[in-house]
Chains A and B, each alone.
Chain A
Amino acid sequence: MNATAPSHHTVMRSQLGRARGLGSGHSGTEYWIVERVSAASLLPLSGWFVIQMFRLGGADYEDVTKWGGKPVNATLLAALVATSFYHAEAGLQVIVDDYVHGKATAPAKLLVRFGCGIFGLLGLVSVLKLALGRKG
């Protein structure tokens, strides 16, 4: 008998029923893999990006657009943006899972997905504009 339960017993479902709950969601493994793969990918991508930014230090607009127009640079930049926002989404969702409980959980998760999605997309479009938008 749970001594701390309220005297009117709002929950009388058996402990086993509660433990089994809604059963397994049969998902989570791909997510777990992607979380780790994206973290590992961000190491070299971020390193490359920092080095490139130092090399471009003081460069004018023309030089930067020329740099961004090269396919290898544009591809790596797009990969960095996509991986960063995907990883951020995964991390923020973990924070929501851990700290936001009750009715706020679902809206908070949707907000995280929407926010990371839209900003990631903005980043990708910007990379494309840099890569393809050059005149001449």
Chain B
Amino acid sequence: MVELRLPRNSTVGKGQFFPAPAGSKNVRTFKIYRWTPDDDSNPVMDTYEIDIDAIGPMVLDALIHIKNDVDPTLTFRRSCREGICGSCAMNIDGENTLACLKPIRDMKGDILINPLPHMPIVKDLVSNLDGAYAQLRSIEPWMKADSAPPPDGERRQSPEERAKLDGMWECILCFCCTTSCPSYWWNGDRYLGPATLLAAYRWIADSRDEHQGDRLDSLEDTFKLYACRTIMNCTQTCPKGLNPAKAIGRIKELQVERKL
């Protein structure tokens, strides 16, 4: 039935407090979700006071500073630190986004940092995305063509055909959208979620792909595709400014087009 409250072992308690060093001028408070699988204790929110004049401008800079200089036990994923790898996707001040693209100065008051919502936690801010990655793989996000490619080069596309992929190829698979979607929280075992559906449409819309029909067949399902309730959290939260809701709408349009 409906989960009206967190399971008992997920209730978040109060954690440790790390004050700012004496003489700090521009102090901001970061409250960060902490949980470790090493013991049976519940998650807590640790509080870190950070002098933001001493660090870079982004939330990721604060996290790296905390890990390097304050509390080396803090665990999070990061790699490129410039919004192209998708590793540092997390929930900052109630919004799924990339820590490396989120300026600290854009936020007021205490800065709350949680892992991506409604996913199993590996540790601290690292959520387990294995299920979401498998769903992405299940839609076979690669080109499928039976015609042989031209012997002298690549499969060609007109500029108009290529333009149809804009707004989709830019997806970095951070899964901010999928984990922001209430429909995915409710039915994530059957609904594919916005990131995977955007990837599915990226291949349906590709003029070089010859399996559009098969792709539409495999998506035509009351849950896989139609569990999208057009809540639009996906589009609102995408740190790359993409529009997964529109891609899902296009898939539904194509489903209707071949039925009517």
- Residue A23, interface by CB 8 Å: yes
A29 near B220 with CB under 8 A, answer yes
Against A, the Cβ 8 Å flags (1 = close, 0 = not) of B212-235 are: 000001111111111101000000
- Residue A101, interface by CB 8 Å: yes
Task: List residues of B (124-149) whose CB comes within 8 Å of A's CBs.
Answer: 128, 130-131, 133-135, 137-138
Q: Measured between alpha carbons, how far is A3 from B122 in the docked complex, in Å?
A: 5
A33 near B259 with CB under 8 A, answer yes
| Best-buried of B128, B182, B217, B226 by chain A (most CB within 10 Å) | B226
Q: Given that A2-B128, A29-B256, A101-B1 are known contacts, is A21 also in contact with B190, CB under 8 Å in the complex? A: yes
Of B37, B135, B217, B226, the residue contacting A4 (CB under 8 A) is: B37
Q: How large is the interface on B (under 10, 10 to 19, 20 to 34, 35 or more residues)?
A: 35 or more
Of A15, A27, A99, the residue contacting B131 (CB under 8 A) is: A15
B226 near A28 with CB under 8 A, answer yes
Q: Measured between alpha carbons, how far is A18 from B121 in the docked complex, in Å?
A: 19
Of A30, A94, A99, A102, the residue contacting B229 (CB under 8 A) is: A94
Of B121, B128, B221, the residue contacting A27 (CB under 8 A) is: B221
Q: How far is the CB of B208 from the nearest CB of chain A, in Å?
A: 24
- Residue B255, interface by CB 8 Å: yes
Q: Measured between alpha carbons, how far is A28 from B182 in the docked complex, in Å?
A: 20
Task: List residues of B (108-125) whose CB comes within 8 Å of A's CBs.
Answer: 120-123
Chain B positions near chain A (C-beta within 8 angstroms): 1-2, 37, 120-123, 128, 130-131, 133-135, 137-138, 182-183, 186-187, 189-190, 217-227, 229, 252, 255-256, 259-260
Would you mind naming 12 contact pairs between A and B with Cβ atoms under 8 Å apart? Answer: A18-B131, A18-B189, A19-B134, A19-B138, A20-B138, A23-B218, A29-B255, A29-B256, A30-B259, A31-B222, A99-B2, A100-B2
Chain A positions near chain B (C-beta within 8 angstroms): 2-5, 14-16, 18-21, 23-33, 94, 97-102, 104
